[in-house]
Amino acid sequence: MQKPSHHGGKNISCELTRAPLAFDYQATTPCAEEVVEAMAPYWSDHWGTPSSRQHRLGLTASAAVSVARKQLAECLAITPERIVFTSGATEANNLALLGRARACGRGHLISVASEHHAVLDPLRQLEREGFSVSLLQPGRDGLLDPKQLEDAVSSDTILVSVMAANNEIGVLQPLSALAAICQANNIAFHCDAAQAFGHIPLQPDALGLDLVSLSAHKLYGPKGIGALIVKDGISLTPLQWGGGQEQDLRAGTVPTPLVVGFAAAARLALADQESRAVRLRGLRDRLWAGLKQNLPQIQLNGPLEPRLPHNLNITAPGINGSRLHRALRPQLQCSSGSACSRGEPSHVLRAIGRSTKDAEASLRLSLGRTTTAGEIDEAIQLITSAIHALSP
Protein backbone atom coordinates (compact mmCIF):
# COMPACT_ATOMS: atom_id res chain seq x y z
CA MET A 1 0.00 0.00 0.00
CA GLN A 2 1.37 3.39 -0.99
CA LYS A 3 2.17 5.64 1.94
CA PRO A 4 0.81 9.17 1.92
CA SER A 5 3.28 11.81 0.78
CA HIS A 6 4.74 14.16 3.36
CA HIS A 7 6.25 17.58 3.11
CA GLY A 8 7.71 19.51 6.00
CA GLY A 9 6.36 16.92 8.45
CA LYS A 10 2.75 17.49 7.28
CA ASN A 11 0.52 15.12 5.35
CA ILE A 12 -0.43 17.04 2.19
CA SER A 13 -3.31 14.63 1.59
CA CYS A 14 -5.05 16.07 4.68
CA GLU A 15 -5.46 19.67 3.56
CA LEU A 16 -8.09 21.55 5.46
CA THR A 17 -11.20 22.41 3.47
CA ARG A 18 -12.66 25.86 3.81
CA ALA A 19 -15.65 26.24 6.12
CA PRO A 20 -19.00 26.91 4.45
CA LEU A 21 -20.10 30.52 4.14
CA ALA A 22 -22.16 31.52 7.19
CA PHE A 23 -25.59 32.90 6.27
CA ASP A 24 -27.60 31.72 9.28
CA TYR A 25 -27.05 34.46 11.86
CA GLN A 26 -30.72 34.55 12.82
CA ALA A 27 -30.43 31.04 14.26
CA THR A 28 -27.66 32.22 16.56
CA THR A 29 -24.52 34.34 16.61
CA PRO A 30 -20.97 33.70 17.79
CA CYS A 31 -20.13 35.19 21.16
CA ALA A 32 -18.25 38.44 20.60
CA GLU A 33 -14.69 38.59 21.95
CA GLU A 34 -15.58 41.57 24.14
CA VAL A 35 -18.43 39.54 25.65
CA VAL A 36 -16.19 36.54 26.36
CA GLU A 37 -13.69 38.86 28.06
CA ALA A 38 -16.41 40.47 30.19
CA MET A 39 -17.64 37.06 31.38
CA ALA A 40 -14.21 35.52 31.99
CA PRO A 41 -13.64 36.58 35.65
CA TYR A 42 -17.01 35.23 36.76
CA TRP A 43 -16.37 31.66 35.65
CA SER A 44 -13.46 31.14 38.02
CA ASP A 45 -11.99 34.05 40.00
CA HIS A 46 -15.34 35.54 41.07
CA TRP A 47 -17.33 32.32 41.21
CA GLY A 48 -19.79 33.17 43.98
CA THR A 49 -23.56 33.14 43.65
CA PRO A 50 -25.32 36.51 43.83
CA SER A 51 -27.81 35.13 46.35
CA SER A 52 -25.07 34.59 48.98
CA ARG A 53 -24.36 38.03 50.39
CA GLN A 54 -22.71 36.93 53.63
CA HIS A 55 -19.20 36.97 52.14
CA ARG A 56 -17.07 38.71 49.54
CA LEU A 57 -17.57 36.12 46.76
CA GLY A 58 -21.33 36.46 46.93
CA LEU A 59 -21.23 40.23 47.26
CA THR A 60 -18.96 40.51 44.22
CA ALA A 61 -21.34 38.38 42.15
CA SER A 62 -24.36 40.32 43.39
CA ALA A 63 -22.73 43.62 42.49
CA ALA A 64 -21.88 42.33 39.01
CA VAL A 65 -25.48 41.29 38.40
CA SER A 66 -26.75 44.66 39.64
CA VAL A 67 -24.41 46.56 37.32
CA ALA A 68 -25.35 44.35 34.36
CA ARG A 69 -29.05 44.77 35.10
CA LYS A 70 -28.61 48.56 35.15
CA GLN A 71 -26.63 48.51 31.89
CA LEU A 72 -29.26 46.41 30.16
CA ALA A 73 -32.02 48.68 31.49
CA GLU A 74 -30.22 51.70 30.04
CA CYS A 75 -30.16 49.99 26.64
CA LEU A 76 -33.96 49.63 26.87
CA ALA A 77 -34.69 52.99 28.53
CA ILE A 78 -36.44 51.32 31.48
CA THR A 79 -35.80 50.89 35.21
CA PRO A 80 -33.63 47.91 36.24
CA GLU A 81 -36.36 46.47 38.47
CA ARG A 82 -38.45 45.59 35.44
CA ILE A 83 -35.91 43.05 34.13
CA VAL A 84 -36.52 39.39 35.01
CA PHE A 85 -33.61 37.23 33.87
CA THR A 86 -34.55 33.88 32.29
CA SER A 87 -32.77 31.10 30.43
CA GLY A 88 -33.71 32.70 27.11
CA ALA A 89 -36.58 34.09 25.07
CA THR A 90 -38.44 30.76 25.09
CA GLU A 91 -38.72 30.80 28.87
CA ALA A 92 -39.53 34.51 28.80
CA ASN A 93 -42.37 33.87 26.33
CA ASN A 94 -43.72 31.08 28.52
CA LEU A 95 -43.54 33.25 31.63
CA ALA A 96 -45.31 36.10 29.85
CA LEU A 97 -48.10 34.01 28.29
CA LEU A 98 -48.71 31.33 30.91
CA GLY A 99 -47.89 33.68 33.78
CA ARG A 100 -50.24 36.42 32.65
CA ALA A 101 -53.12 34.10 31.72
CA ARG A 102 -52.93 32.14 34.96
CA ALA A 103 -52.77 35.36 36.98
CA CYS A 104 -56.00 36.48 35.28
CA GLY A 105 -57.62 33.07 35.82
CA ARG A 106 -59.62 32.96 32.60
CA GLY A 107 -60.08 34.85 29.36
CA HIS A 108 -59.19 35.24 25.71
CA LEU A 109 -55.74 35.61 24.13
CA ILE A 110 -54.85 36.84 20.63
CA SER A 111 -51.73 36.16 18.59
CA VAL A 112 -50.62 35.60 14.98
CA ALA A 113 -50.33 32.32 13.07
CA SER A 114 -46.77 33.24 11.99
CA GLU A 115 -45.38 33.55 15.52
CA HIS A 116 -42.46 31.46 16.77
CA HIS A 117 -43.30 28.05 18.28
CA ALA A 118 -42.16 29.48 21.63
CA VAL A 119 -45.36 31.55 21.52
CA LEU A 120 -47.68 29.17 19.66
CA ASP A 121 -46.97 26.16 21.87
CA PRO A 122 -47.66 27.93 25.20
CA LEU A 123 -50.90 29.22 23.68
CA ARG A 124 -51.90 25.64 22.84
CA GLN A 125 -51.19 24.71 26.45
CA LEU A 126 -53.46 27.53 27.62
CA GLU A 127 -56.21 26.23 25.35
CA ARG A 128 -55.88 22.87 27.12
CA GLU A 129 -56.30 24.74 30.40
CA GLY A 130 -59.58 26.28 29.25
CA PHE A 131 -58.50 29.65 27.87
CA SER A 132 -59.71 30.71 24.41
CA VAL A 133 -57.11 31.63 21.77
CA SER A 134 -57.46 33.45 18.45
CA LEU A 135 -54.63 33.18 15.90
CA LEU A 136 -54.90 35.90 13.29
CA GLN A 137 -53.70 35.29 9.73
CA PRO A 138 -51.08 37.75 8.49
CA GLY A 139 -51.34 39.21 5.02
CA ARG A 140 -49.30 37.80 2.15
CA ASP A 141 -46.65 40.32 3.19
CA GLY A 142 -46.45 38.69 6.62
CA LEU A 143 -47.80 41.78 8.37
CA LEU A 144 -50.78 42.04 10.69
CA ASP A 145 -53.28 44.75 9.81
CA PRO A 146 -54.19 46.63 13.02
CA LYS A 147 -57.83 46.47 11.90
CA GLN A 148 -57.64 42.66 12.24
CA LEU A 149 -56.64 43.03 15.87
CA GLU A 150 -59.32 45.62 16.50
CA ASP A 151 -61.97 43.26 15.12
CA ALA A 152 -60.64 40.28 17.12
CA VAL A 153 -60.70 41.99 20.52
CA SER A 154 -63.56 40.92 22.77
CA SER A 155 -64.72 41.92 26.24
CA ASP A 156 -62.78 39.05 27.81
CA THR A 157 -59.47 39.53 25.94
CA ILE A 158 -56.66 39.60 28.49
CA LEU A 159 -53.49 39.43 26.39
CA VAL A 160 -52.21 40.07 22.86
CA SER A 161 -48.86 38.65 21.71
CA VAL A 162 -47.20 39.86 18.49
CA MET A 163 -43.49 39.51 17.72
CA ALA A 164 -41.43 42.56 16.74
CA ALA A 165 -39.50 40.94 13.87
CA ASN A 166 -40.39 37.63 12.31
CA ASN A 167 -37.69 35.02 12.85
CA GLU A 168 -38.00 33.65 9.30
CA ILE A 169 -39.03 36.40 6.89
CA GLY A 170 -37.76 39.30 9.01
CA VAL A 171 -40.78 41.58 8.58
CA LEU A 172 -41.36 44.22 11.25
CA GLN A 173 -44.85 44.35 12.72
CA PRO A 174 -46.59 47.74 13.36
CA LEU A 175 -46.12 47.51 17.12
CA SER A 176 -47.13 51.08 18.03
CA ALA A 177 -50.45 50.80 16.20
CA LEU A 178 -51.17 47.41 17.76
CA ALA A 179 -50.18 48.67 21.21
CA ALA A 180 -52.58 51.62 20.89
CA ILE A 181 -55.46 49.19 20.34
CA CYS A 182 -54.44 47.19 23.41
CA GLN A 183 -54.14 50.31 25.55
CA ALA A 184 -57.56 51.55 24.42
CA ASN A 185 -59.08 48.25 25.55
CA ASN A 186 -57.01 47.81 28.73
CA ILE A 187 -55.34 44.65 27.37
CA ALA A 188 -51.75 43.62 28.18
CA PHE A 189 -49.51 43.55 25.10
CA HIS A 190 -46.64 41.02 24.90
CA CYS A 191 -43.91 41.13 22.28
CA ASP A 192 -41.32 38.48 21.43
CA ALA A 193 -38.40 40.74 20.52
CA ALA A 194 -35.68 38.08 20.39
CA GLN A 195 -34.87 38.82 16.75
CA ALA A 196 -35.22 42.58 17.04
CA PHE A 197 -33.28 43.70 20.12
CA GLY A 198 -29.78 44.80 19.19
CA HIS A 199 -30.61 45.03 15.50
CA ILE A 200 -33.28 47.74 15.35
CA PRO A 201 -34.31 50.43 17.87
CA LEU A 202 -36.39 48.88 20.64
CA GLN A 203 -37.66 50.80 23.66
CA PRO A 204 -40.65 49.07 25.30
CA ASP A 205 -42.26 52.19 26.76
CA ALA A 206 -41.95 54.23 23.56
CA LEU A 207 -43.66 51.39 21.67
CA GLY A 208 -46.34 50.79 24.31
CA LEU A 209 -45.24 47.26 25.20
CA ASP A 210 -46.15 45.71 28.56
CA LEU A 211 -44.17 42.45 28.34
CA VAL A 212 -41.08 41.95 26.16
CA SER A 213 -39.04 38.77 25.67
CA LEU A 214 -35.31 39.01 24.88
CA SER A 215 -32.46 36.61 24.09
CA ALA A 216 -28.71 37.23 24.34
CA HIS A 217 -27.47 34.73 21.77
CA LYS A 218 -29.21 36.52 18.89
CA LEU A 219 -26.97 39.58 19.40
CA TYR A 220 -23.50 38.07 19.90
CA GLY A 221 -24.09 37.23 23.55
CA PRO A 222 -23.97 33.88 25.36
CA LYS A 223 -26.54 31.12 24.98
CA GLY A 224 -28.65 30.24 28.00
CA ILE A 225 -29.64 33.74 29.10
CA GLY A 226 -32.56 36.00 28.23
CA ALA A 227 -35.01 38.28 29.97
CA LEU A 228 -38.63 39.23 30.30
CA ILE A 229 -39.31 42.95 30.65
CA VAL A 230 -42.39 43.50 32.82
CA LYS A 231 -44.24 46.80 33.02
CA ASP A 232 -45.23 47.97 36.48
CA GLY A 233 -48.70 46.76 37.42
CA ILE A 234 -48.67 43.65 35.19
CA SER A 235 -49.23 40.65 37.47
CA LEU A 236 -47.74 37.26 36.58
CA THR A 237 -47.90 33.80 38.14
CA PRO A 238 -44.40 32.26 38.22
CA LEU A 239 -43.66 29.02 36.38
CA GLN A 240 -41.34 27.70 39.08
CA TRP A 241 -40.75 28.21 42.77
CA GLY A 242 -37.89 27.54 45.12
CA GLY A 243 -35.71 30.51 45.94
CA GLY A 244 -37.45 33.82 45.47
CA GLN A 245 -34.95 35.13 42.93
CA GLU A 246 -35.93 37.72 40.32
CA GLN A 247 -38.67 39.28 42.43
CA ASP A 248 -40.25 35.87 43.08
CA LEU A 249 -40.95 35.46 39.35
CA ARG A 250 -38.09 33.16 38.38
CA ALA A 251 -36.64 30.93 41.10
CA GLY A 252 -33.12 29.57 40.58
CA THR A 253 -29.53 30.75 40.85
CA VAL A 254 -28.90 33.75 38.63
CA PRO A 255 -25.96 32.86 36.31
CA THR A 256 -23.61 35.77 36.92
CA PRO A 257 -21.29 35.22 33.91
CA LEU A 258 -24.22 34.96 31.49
CA VAL A 259 -25.94 38.05 32.88
CA VAL A 260 -22.70 40.03 32.58
CA GLY A 261 -22.29 38.71 29.03
CA PHE A 262 -25.85 39.65 28.10
CA ALA A 263 -25.33 43.25 29.21
CA ALA A 264 -21.97 43.46 27.43
CA ALA A 265 -23.51 42.13 24.20
CA ALA A 266 -26.42 44.58 24.40
CA ARG A 267 -24.13 47.57 24.88
CA LEU A 268 -21.91 46.39 22.04
CA ALA A 269 -24.93 45.94 19.77
CA LEU A 270 -26.35 49.38 20.47
CA ALA A 271 -22.97 51.04 19.95
CA ASP A 272 -22.89 50.17 16.25
CA GLN A 273 -26.57 49.39 15.66
CA GLU A 274 -27.24 52.22 13.21
CA SER A 275 -24.06 51.88 11.14
CA ARG A 276 -24.33 48.08 11.12
CA ALA A 277 -27.92 48.27 9.93
CA VAL A 278 -26.94 50.55 7.04
CA ARG A 279 -24.06 48.29 6.01
CA LEU A 280 -26.01 45.03 6.27
CA ARG A 281 -29.04 46.47 4.50
CA GLY A 282 -26.76 47.40 1.61
CA LEU A 283 -25.28 43.90 1.50
CA ARG A 284 -28.74 42.31 1.81
CA ASP A 285 -30.05 44.39 -1.09
CA ARG A 286 -26.97 43.45 -3.13
CA LEU A 287 -27.71 39.79 -2.44
CA TRP A 288 -31.34 40.13 -3.52
CA ALA A 289 -30.49 42.12 -6.65
CA GLY A 290 -27.84 39.61 -7.70
CA LEU A 291 -30.08 36.62 -7.16
CA LYS A 292 -33.03 38.23 -8.92
CA GLN A 293 -30.87 39.13 -11.92
CA ASN A 294 -29.55 35.58 -12.23
CA LEU A 295 -32.80 33.86 -11.27
CA PRO A 296 -35.80 35.93 -12.42
CA GLN A 297 -38.18 33.20 -11.23
CA ILE A 298 -37.26 33.45 -7.54
CA GLN A 299 -39.71 35.17 -5.21
CA LEU A 300 -39.20 37.30 -2.13
CA ASN A 301 -41.09 36.30 1.01
CA GLY A 302 -42.39 39.44 2.67
CA PRO A 303 -41.67 42.99 1.51
CA LEU A 304 -38.09 44.25 1.36
CA GLU A 305 -39.20 46.92 3.85
CA PRO A 306 -40.12 47.02 6.70
CA ARG A 307 -37.71 44.16 7.39
CA LEU A 308 -34.69 43.39 9.52
CA PRO A 309 -31.65 44.78 7.69
CA HIS A 310 -29.82 41.44 7.81
CA ASN A 311 -32.65 39.18 6.61
CA LEU A 312 -33.57 37.84 3.17
CA ASN A 313 -36.04 35.00 2.59
CA ILE A 314 -36.62 33.66 -0.92
CA THR A 315 -38.55 30.87 -2.62
CA ALA A 316 -37.41 29.00 -5.74
CA PRO A 317 -40.70 27.73 -7.27
CA GLY A 318 -40.58 24.31 -8.90
CA ILE A 319 -37.33 23.30 -7.17
CA ASN A 320 -37.03 20.28 -4.88
CA GLY A 321 -36.30 21.82 -1.49
CA SER A 322 -34.48 18.84 0.00
CA ARG A 323 -32.16 18.60 -2.99
CA LEU A 324 -31.54 22.35 -2.95
CA HIS A 325 -30.49 22.36 0.69
CA ARG A 326 -28.41 19.24 0.20
CA ALA A 327 -26.59 20.87 -2.71
CA LEU A 328 -25.86 24.06 -0.76
CA ARG A 329 -24.96 22.51 2.60
CA PRO A 330 -21.24 21.82 1.94
CA GLN A 331 -20.59 25.42 0.90
CA LEU A 332 -23.31 27.61 2.38
CA GLN A 333 -24.88 27.56 5.83
CA CYS A 334 -28.48 28.74 5.66
CA SER A 335 -31.90 27.37 6.54
CA SER A 336 -35.38 26.83 5.19
CA GLY A 337 -36.97 28.36 8.28
CA SER A 338 -36.60 28.67 12.02
CA ALA A 339 -33.82 26.83 13.83
CA CYS A 340 -36.64 25.46 16.02
CA SER A 341 -38.86 24.23 13.15
CA ARG A 342 -38.14 20.52 13.81
CA GLY A 343 -37.43 19.94 10.13
CA GLU A 344 -41.04 20.61 9.11
CA PRO A 345 -41.99 22.96 6.25
CA SER A 346 -42.15 26.53 7.53
CA HIS A 347 -45.48 27.37 9.17
CA VAL A 348 -44.61 31.04 8.62
CA LEU A 349 -44.39 30.64 4.85
CA ARG A 350 -47.57 28.59 4.79
CA ALA A 351 -49.29 31.30 6.85
CA ILE A 352 -48.51 33.86 4.12
CA GLY A 353 -49.82 31.60 1.37
CA ARG A 354 -46.88 29.48 0.25
CA SER A 355 -47.60 25.86 -0.60
CA THR A 356 -45.82 23.14 1.37
CA LYS A 357 -43.64 22.41 -1.66
CA ASP A 358 -42.66 26.06 -2.10
CA ALA A 359 -42.05 26.44 1.64
CA GLU A 360 -39.59 23.56 1.42
CA ALA A 361 -37.86 25.26 -1.53
CA SER A 362 -37.19 28.44 0.42
CA LEU A 363 -34.00 29.86 1.86
CA ARG A 364 -33.63 32.08 4.90
CA LEU A 365 -30.39 33.98 4.40
CA SER A 366 -29.29 36.06 7.38
CA LEU A 367 -26.18 38.19 7.46
CA GLY A 368 -23.83 38.86 10.36
CA ARG A 369 -21.42 41.45 11.63
CA THR A 370 -18.51 40.00 9.66
CA THR A 371 -20.33 39.31 6.37
CA THR A 372 -18.43 40.82 3.44
CA ALA A 373 -19.34 41.92 -0.08
CA GLY A 374 -17.15 39.12 -1.38
CA GLU A 375 -19.16 36.56 0.57
CA ILE A 376 -22.38 38.07 -0.79
CA ASP A 377 -21.14 37.66 -4.37
CA GLU A 378 -19.98 34.13 -3.68
CA ALA A 379 -23.37 33.24 -2.15
CA ILE A 380 -25.11 34.60 -5.24
CA GLN A 381 -23.06 32.32 -7.45
CA LEU A 382 -23.51 29.26 -5.22
CA ILE A 383 -27.28 29.65 -5.01
CA THR A 384 -27.56 30.46 -8.73
CA SER A 385 -25.57 27.36 -9.71
CA ALA A 386 -27.53 25.10 -7.34
CA ILE A 387 -30.93 26.27 -8.61
CA HIS A 388 -29.86 26.09 -12.28
CA ALA A 389 -28.62 22.53 -11.73
CA LEU A 390 -31.94 21.50 -10.17
CA SER A 391 -34.22 23.33 -12.60
CA PRO A 392 -36.40 21.01 -14.71
- pLDDT on residue 34: 98
- pLDDT on residue 8: 43
Q: Is 340 a catalytic residue?
A: yes
- pLDDT on residue 343: 59
- pLDDT on residue 9: 43
Delineate the domains of the chain, giving CATH numbers in brackets.
21-31+273-390 (3.90.1150.10), 33-271 (3.40.640.10)
- pLDDT on residue 387: 97
CA distance between the termini of the chain: 45
- Short-list 76, 73, 167, CA closest to 119: 167
- pLDDT on residue 342: 56
Which sign, positive or negative, has the C-alpha torsion 312, 317, 321, 326? negative
The CA dihedral of 159, 164, 165, 171, to the nearest 10 degrees, is: 90
- pLDDT on residue 392: 84
Long-range contacts, stretch 234-239, CB < 8 angstroms, 24+ apart: 234/100, 234/188, 234/210, 235/100, 235/103, 236/95, 236/96, 236/99, 236/100, 236/103, 237/98, 237/99, 237/102, 237/103, 238/95, 238/99, 239/91, 239/94, 239/95, 239/98, 239/99
Residue tagged active-site, from 31, 75, 191, 340: 340
- pLDDT on residue 336: 77
- Per-residue pLDDT 10s for the chain (392 aa) are 344 444 444 443 333 467 999 999 999 999 999 999 999 999 999 999 998 878 989 899 999 999 999 999 999 999 999 999 999 999 999 999 999 999 999 999 999 999 999 999 999 999 999 999 999 999 999 999 999 999 999 999 999 999 999 999 999 999 999 999 999 999 999 999 999 999 999 999 999 999 999 999 999 999 999 999 999 999 999 999 998 899 999 999 999 999 999 999 999 999 999 999 999 999 999 999 999 999 999 999 999 999 999 999 999 999 999 999 999 999 999 987 544 445 578 999 999 999 999 999 999 999 999 999 999 999 999 999 999 999 98
- pTM for the model stands at 0.92
CA–CA distance, 171 with 349 (Å, rounded to integer): 12
CA–CA distance, 64 with 90 (Å, rounded to integer): 25
CA–CA distance, 5 with 11 (Å, rounded to integer): 6
- Short-list 303, 300, 299, CA closest to 141: 303
CA dist list (Å): 214 to 34, 188, 285, 289, 373: 20, 17, 27, 32, 30
CA–CA distance, 392 with 390 (Å, rounded to integer): 6
Q: What percentage of the chain reaches a pLDDT higher than 70?
A: 94
